[in-house]
Structure 1
Amino acid sequence: MKPEQLPLLNSVSAPAIHPDGTKAVVSVIRPDFDADSYVGQLWSVPLDITKHPRRITRGFRDSSPSFSPDGLVLAFLRSDPDGKPQLFVVEAAGGEPQRITDQHSGISGFIWAPDSHRIAFLARVAEQGRYGTVDGVTAGGEDARLITNNQYRMNGVGYTGDQPQQVFVVEVPELGGEPAVAPRGRAAHEQPAREVNGIPAAKQLTFGDADHDSPCFSADGSQIYFVAGLHQGHDDDLVTSVYRVAASGGEPTAVEPSNKIRQTVTDVRTSTDGQWLFYIAQDMGQTGRDFVARNGVLHVMPIGGGESVPLTDVEYLDVAGPLEPSGPASVLVLNTALGSVELLDVPAEGEITPLVHGARVVIGASVAANGEIAVSYSDAATMGDVASLERNELRLLTDFSAGLRNNSRVSEPVDFGASSEDGHRVHGWVVLPDGPGPHPVLLNIHGGPFAQYTGAYFDEAQVYAAAGYAVVMCNPRGSSGYGQSHGRALKERMGTVDMQDVLAFLDSALAAFDALDQDRVGIMGGSYGGYLTAWTIAHDHRFTAAIVERGFLDPVSFTGSSDIGWFFGGEYTGGTAEQMAAQSPMAVAGSVTTPTLVIHSENDLRCPVEQGQRYYSQLKSQGVETALLVFPGEDHELSRSGTPHHRKQRFEHILHWWAQHLPTPSNTPEV
């Protein structure tokens, strides 16, 4: 794959299966250079393999499809080029979509009521006078912000204290009726407030000062459950809980388990039989902030509260939502496992059933009333496709990555394992370019650190392989998917066993693959990967060159500048000055001699740009060959969801850096 082929990367959403099991609908979104944005529409995918998928909407960017429980209406989010996502509905049989929300900040998620006549949705509510709520008041002209709390910013969002995310409910209009006509003259003054320009008025149900998330209706539709941190002192910890509020409005009440622990709840869903409440949570320890490498655990408790029972093993399973009902008292969950993401069916009472496992990354799944299951997934050959699940086998229904495979060679990752210095097994992959070699090697390190590389299609590895580089990537201790103790091995020990593991994996790969040139090796990584890259080149000088991207480089300044700085560094490195210095790449930057490209984004609130600027300045002052590449308007997610132009430019700069230091026949320096 080449940087200019980014528009071939079709990302596929979780499927929405029709209640009758005949079809599923997904969104297919791709980068577009002309729009310098992400475009895409909804596709209908018949579960009958004799029929073909087809595009069914024509919006700029249509996403998040969901059928009403009665199967008559399809709801989805639509974004215009310069607009925020709004909620649209269309008859399931086809027709013209109708917009039913007009939220100033847009919609971030929604769910149907069991009666198919209402939808609960999430939207940020901006304080009056901010974020364009008053004409003529620009961002630079807003009133000053007086900040007294820890949790006031979020990467990709900005300030959050003056625009908390709230829960709303809206009535879905009769789609077969006559279109509303915008009132004029005296009628405009006499019209009730229930509609504005034909858009039904939504009712705001929550008003707390924290973000609200994961709404779902009770089985009878009278209550809405959601997740939030509304307890006293919620600004000083990471604890969130399940709450409920009447769908008609009122004060929220906490739904407490009798055996309550301090935990972060991420997803909640009621069982369709109305008896149970499923939720995913992570134990936050006694402080309420001990988040390091905590596996997500699926719990169940009676619908009104009571004893909470964990349904998945906290040590060996790391489950995540969204929670999808699979029966009267069971749900589907995703499980991070050994460089893959599995699909599990978990009942309130009984045994867990693995549905999809192996060398795949499940994106999402949904179940029809007749038991048909649609699954979206990626693997080594696809960015995302849809399949039906029959007798534990996936039956492929789409080929959204055909253009990618037809226009570029896909280098399939080779599964590989190695032993670390202390005997610990390290799992990963080697991606080889064309030709016999020996090829220069790029050691890639993932972010997180509680994340994982997988064997699924990875644009980074494919771009580097196409340029003639062998890519070596692994999941060292600290990564997710290999047990909670594997992830927590880095707590107050960053730069120890993790560096040991990646270097042992590299050495084993160099010894095992004749096509790898052990004398021409580069190292690179982003976020935590930027941390470990910077840390490693201060201790190991074998690397020809390095790239440190959006790195966590100084735990001291990170504490006051990052959106998560108030807790992240202290939990990972320990909170004392001595502990931070002992695990800080800035503290050992004076030992770096490796030529290093530093990449950062101006709007990065996760690892603020000062981290990269100060690291670059230090290398520059001591005579190390270095450069600082800064992207305006981008945040921490540049490499994954930045504008297509900047993503392409990022790849071009990276390849240029490697052409200077590790040239290949396919990637040579410009003359």
Structure 2
Amino acid sequence: MRPADIDKLVSVSRPTVAPDGSFAIFATSRPDAAANRNVGQLWRVELDEPGAPRRLTRGVADSSPRLAPDGGLVAFLRGDEKKRPQLHVVAAAGGEPVQVTDQPLGVGSFDWAPDGARLAYSARVPEKGRYGSVEGLDADAEAPRRITGIRWHANGLGYIADRPAQVFVVDVPDVGAEPLYAPASSVLPEGAQAPKKPAVPAESIQVTSGVADHGSVVFSPDGSEVLTVVDEIEGHRRDLRSRLVAVRVDGSGEREVLGRTANLSLSDVVVAEDGAIAVLASDVGAEGIDFVAPGVALWLLEEGGPRRITDADTVDLGEVGSHITPLGDDFLVQNRTRGRVHLLRITRAGESAAVIGGDVEVGGQDAAGERIVATLARPDTFGELVLVENGSVRPLTDFGAELRRARLAPVRELTIDGRDGYPVHGWVAVPDGEGPHPVILMIHGGPYATYGIHPFDEVQTLVDAGYAVAYCNPRGSAGYGREHGRSIRQAMGTVDFADVLDFLDGAVASDDRLDGARVGVMGGSYGGYLTAWVIGHENRFAGAIVERGFLDPVSFQGTSDIGSFFGDEYVGIDSEAMQRQSPMAVVGKVRTPTLVLHSELDFRCPLEQATRYYSALKRNGVDAELLIFPGENHELTRSGQPRHRLERFDAVLDWWARKLPARA
């Protein structure tokens, strides 16, 4: 696979299934270098008739489809002329979509009312005079921001306090009604205002207010209330505990469903047909910030308080995008394990059965009756849709065909016994030919994240360029139980450091085609941290790439959007402990040529982490370069502008060609 082949990385959204189980609708997305954005549309696939899915919409980047309760309409998000995601509806059989909202900053989550007559959604409401709410008032002319809380910004968004997310309710338009027309120019009486074309058929009604954010919008079974998670900016100390409230759709008030005393941080909320409320949540403890290997579990909210259904120590429901799907009295959830994500069916008594297992990463699911439709990745495809029925799994799409034609390199799974006997699990990808090939050790972010079995563009492009790649899930990673994930809490750069080096050595020893004398190391975010830590203690590498790294715990506290709690839990707040785990503290020992990659608008690991680290390398005489991507945030390699993603690949391959040539 070459860098330009990223346009073949087609991801498939969480599907939505018709109530009678006859069809499903989903969205696709892929990078497009010519358009310089991710593009995609909605698709419909018939579940009782063999055949390829058909494209339902033709927008540039349509996403997040949800079928109405009767299956007749689909609500989805589509960017307007300013690329703001707005709610639209379209007939499930196809047709011209009708725009439902005209929110100045776009729409977030949404849900159908049980009767299908209304939609509830969340949308950020800008403070008057900010974010283009006053025509002609640019950002640099806005009033100053007074910050009094412990948080003020978020990666990929920017400032948060002056645009809280509120809940709105809107009537669903008639998709067969007469379109809205712009009035023609005419001579008007003196003082009369010229009529304007209405932006949307119906006005949205705001049902929440205040400075707190509201998310995870879910209707109650009778449609009289909307459940939403409230996120308030703390005054002095970070608190990850969530509040869940039920807001009356007539605007008459709200009631608390779950308070902070439950010590739960919520990531998903659903309401079953019988009214039972299930959540994905982790217990963050009495102090409210214990998030290391958080142990996300399935909980039921009952009269006596929340009841945990799954074992948080062994079942990990915290994969990004993980969600709950009611299925009769049971629930479908996604469990990540050893680089896979399996689909589980959980009873309310806590009994578990695998619905989809094996070499897959399940990304989303929906169900009607006993029919389950899921999206998943496999080693040979980035995303497909499958139907699960009567114990069998039937493919519904083949979006991976183009990717397979791009020549994916085979990947070998490997487990190495580390220096202390601990098993380190990972993979090795090797170019064609006998070698010996130079080897790059690649380290993932997180730390509580995981390398998986899906086609990984960063690995595949290196292999195509002639490099073997070793990549693993060291202690601190997800998918191997909470003890594995929590083992580096206030001990970063210890067993994780040993694990990645031991895996590299074991991979080289296991294959004569790998040249252990010619090695490089690279990683992003926490992987950037561990790369910088490695080269601060080892001089064996021909080169290193430190990308979007967590490099100085001290300055991170006051600059990162998670600085108010991340470092407190992972490295502690004691100055000696922070120094003991800081790459900046050992930067003077680095001798390895180092490329520092970062994004200008990264608020997760802010740009100052990179510039200070790079400046220290240069001051110490290290062969170092710095590459900064404008307009990008922490998610550059996953969802950045396609042209920037390609330019990043060019920079990475150029660096390795100069410091670790793959071929003579």
**Same fold flag (TM > 0.5):** yes
Question: For residue 400 of structure 1, what is the aligned residue in structure 2?
Answer: 399
**Counterpart check, 1:111 vs 2:111:** yes
Q: For 1:172-183, list aligned pairs within 5 A.
A: 172-181=172-181
Question: For residue 47 of structure 1, what is the aligned residue in structure 2?
Answer: 47
Structure 1, residues 377-403: CA drift from partner, whole Å, max 9, x if none?
A: 011111101111133332111111211
What is the distance in 2 between the residues matched to 1:251 and 1:348? 31
**Structure 1 residues 19 and 557 mapped into 2: Cα distance closer, same or farther (>3 Å)?**
same
Match for residue 563 of structure 1 among 552, 561, 586: 561
Structure 1, residues 97-122: CA drift from partner, whole Å, max 9, x if none?
A: 11111011011221111111111112
What is the distance in 1 between the residues matched to 2:281 and 2:487? 21
Q: CA deviation at 1:196?
A: 3.4
Q: CA deviation at 1:476?
A: 0.5
**Counterpart check, 1:86 vs 2:125:** no
What is the distance in 2 between the residues matched to 1:462 and 1:452? 17
Q: CA deviation at 1:157?
A: 0.2
Q: CA deviation at 1:192?
A: 13
Identity %: 48
Q: CA deviation at 1:175?
A: 2.1
**Counterpart check, 1:504 vs 2:506:** no
**Structure 1 residues 570 and 350 mapped into 2: Cα distance closer, same or farther (>3 Å)?**
closer
Structure 1, residues 338-394: CA drift from partner, whole Å, max 9, x if none?
A: 1111111223235222211222110101002x3211110011111101111133332
Amino acid corresponding to residue 68 of structure 1 in structure 2: A
Match for residue 217 of structure 1 among 204, 209, 219: 219
What is the distance in 1 between the residues matched to 2:16 and 2:403? 25
Counterpart secondary structure, 1:196: coil
Counterpart secondary structure, 2:95: coil
Match for residue 488 of structure 1 among 486, 489, 509: 486
Question: For residue 419 of structure 2, what is the aligned residue in structure 1?
Answer: 421
Structure 1, residues 390-429: CA drift from partner, whole Å, max 9, x if none?
A: 33332111111211212x1111321110112211111111
Question: For residue 375 of structure 1, what is the aligned residue in structure 2?
Answer: 374
Question: For residue 620 of structure 1, what is the aligned residue in structure 2?
Answer: 618
Q: CA deviation at 1:179?
A: 2.8
Q: CA deviation at 1:556?
A: 0.6
Whether the 8 Å CA contact 2:441–2:521 is kept in 1: the answer is yes
Amino acid corresponding to residue 46 of structure 1 in structure 2: E
What is the distance in 1 between the residues matched to 2:648 and 2:539? 26
Cα RMSD of the aligned pairs, angstroms, is 2.2
Counterpart secondary structure, 2:269: strand
Counterpart secondary structure, 2:638: helix
What is the distance in 1 between the residues matched to 2:140 and 2:223? 44
Question: For residue 520 of structure 2, what is the aligned residue in structure 1?
Answer: 522
Whether the 8 Å CA contact 2:360–2:377 is kept in 1: the answer is yes
Question: For residue 249 of structure 2, what is the aligned residue in structure 1?
Answer: 247
What is the distance in 1 between the residues matched to 2:480 and 2:338? 6
**Counterpart check, 1:62 vs 2:62:** yes
Amino acid corresponding to residue 133 of structure 1 in structure 2: S
Mean CA deviation greater in 153-162 or 481-490: 481-490
Mean CA deviation greater in 447-456 or 76-85: 76-85
Counterpart secondary structure, 2:573: coil
What is the distance in 2 between the residues matched to 1:637 and 1:3? 17
Whether the 8 Å CA contact 2:370–2:389 is kept in 1: the answer is no
What is the distance in 2 between the residues matched to 1:497 and 1:19? 50
Whether the 8 Å CA contact 1:61–1:80 is kept in 2: the answer is no
Question: For residue 451 of structure 2, what is the aligned residue in structure 1?
Answer: 453
Structure 1, residues 257-311: CA drift from partner, whole Å, max 9, x if none?
A: 7x9432211111111112x110111111221112111110110023xx4322101
Structure 1, residues 225-267: CA drift from partner, whole Å, max 9, x if none?
A: 111235986963111121111122232221137x943221111
**Structure 1 residues 74 and 189 mapped into 2: Cα distance closer, same or farther (>3 Å)?**
farther
Whether the 8 Å CA contact 2:216–2:268 is kept in 1: the answer is yes
What is the distance in 2 between the residues matched to 1:163 and 1:625? 44
Gapped runs of 5+ residues in structure 2?
none
Whether the 8 Å CA contact 1:182–1:197 is kept in 2: the answer is no
Amino acid corresponding to residue 272 of structure 2 in structure 1: S
What is the distance in 1 between the residues matched to 2:192 and 2:580? 68
Q: CA deviation at 1:181?
A: 4.5
Whether the 8 Å CA contact 1:181–1:198 is kept in 2: the answer is no
Counterpart secondary structure, 1:200: coil
What is the distance in 2 between the residues matched to 1:385 and 1:217? 29
Whether the 8 Å CA contact 1:545–1:596 is kept in 2: the answer is yes
Counterpart secondary structure, 1:521: strand
Q: For 1:27-38, list aligned pairs within 5 A.
A: 27-38=27-38
Whether the 8 Å CA contact 1:41–1:59 is kept in 2: the answer is yes
What is the distance in 2 between the residues matched to 1:315 and 1:50? 42
Question: For residue 271 of structure 2, what is the aligned residue in structure 1?
Answer: 270
Whether the 8 Å CA contact 1:114–1:219 is kept in 2: the answer is yes
What is the distance in 2 between the residues matched to 1:232 and 1:567? 12
Q: For 1:563-602, list aligned pairs within 5 A.
A: 563-602=561-600
Amino acid corresponding to residue 293 of structure 2 in structure 1: A
**Structure 1 residues 233 and 603 mapped into 2: Cα distance closer, same or farther (>3 Å)?**
closer
Whether the 8 Å CA contact 1:448–1:527 is kept in 2: the answer is yes
**Structure 1 residues 460 and 492 mapped into 2: Cα distance closer, same or farther (>3 Å)?**
same
What is the distance in 2 between the residues matched to 1:599 and 1:325? 39
Q: CA deviation at 1:461?
A: 0.7
Counterpart secondary structure, 2:291: coil
Match for residue 201 of structure 1 among 200, 203, 206: 203
Amino acid corresponding to residue 371 of structure 1 in structure 2: E
Q: For 1:93-492, list aligned pairs within 5 A.
A: 93-181=93-181, 196-230=198-232, 236-256=238-258, 260-274=261-275, 276-302=276-302, 305-320=303-318, 323-349=323-349, 351-368=351-368, 370-406=369-405, 408-492=406-490
**Structure 1 residues 230 and 626 mapped into 2: Cα distance closer, same or farther (>3 Å)?**
closer
Whether the 8 Å CA contact 1:49–1:397 is kept in 2: the answer is no
Amino acid corresponding to residue 254 of structure 1 in structure 2: E
What is the distance in 2 between the residues matched to 1:161 and 1:225? 22
Mean CA deviation greater in 377-386 or 19-28: 19-28
**Structure 1 residues 262 and 307 mapped into 2: Cα distance closer, same or farther (>3 Å)?**
closer
Mean CA deviation greater in 513-522 or 338-347: 338-347
Counterpart secondary structure, 1:615: helix
Q: CA deviation at 1:180?
A: 4.0
Counterpart secondary structure, 1:308: strand
What is the distance in 2 between the residues matched to 1:506 and 1:416? 11
Counterpart secondary structure, 2:77: strand
Whether the 8 Å CA contact 1:181–1:197 is kept in 2: the answer is no
Whether the 8 Å CA contact 1:11–1:28 is kept in 2: the answer is yes
Whether the 8 Å CA contact 1:432–1:470 is kept in 2: the answer is yes
Mean CA deviation greater in 92-101 or 582-591: 92-101
Amino acid corresponding to residue 74 of structure 2 in structure 1: L
What is the distance in 1 between the residues matched to 2:399 and 2:257? 42
Question: For residue 664 of structure 1, what is the aligned residue in structure 2?
Answer: 662
Counterpart secondary structure, 2:489: coil
Structure 1, residues 579-625: CA drift from partner, whole Å, max 9, x if none?
A: 11110000000000011100011111111111111111111111111
Q: CA deviation at 1:449?
A: 0.2
What is the distance in 2 between the residues matched to 1:452 and 1:324? 21
Whether the 8 Å CA contact 2:545–2:597 is kept in 1: the answer is yes
What is the distance in 2 between the residues matched to 1:340 and 1:189? 65
**Structure 1 residues 295 and 342 mapped into 2: Cα distance closer, same or farther (>3 Å)?**
same
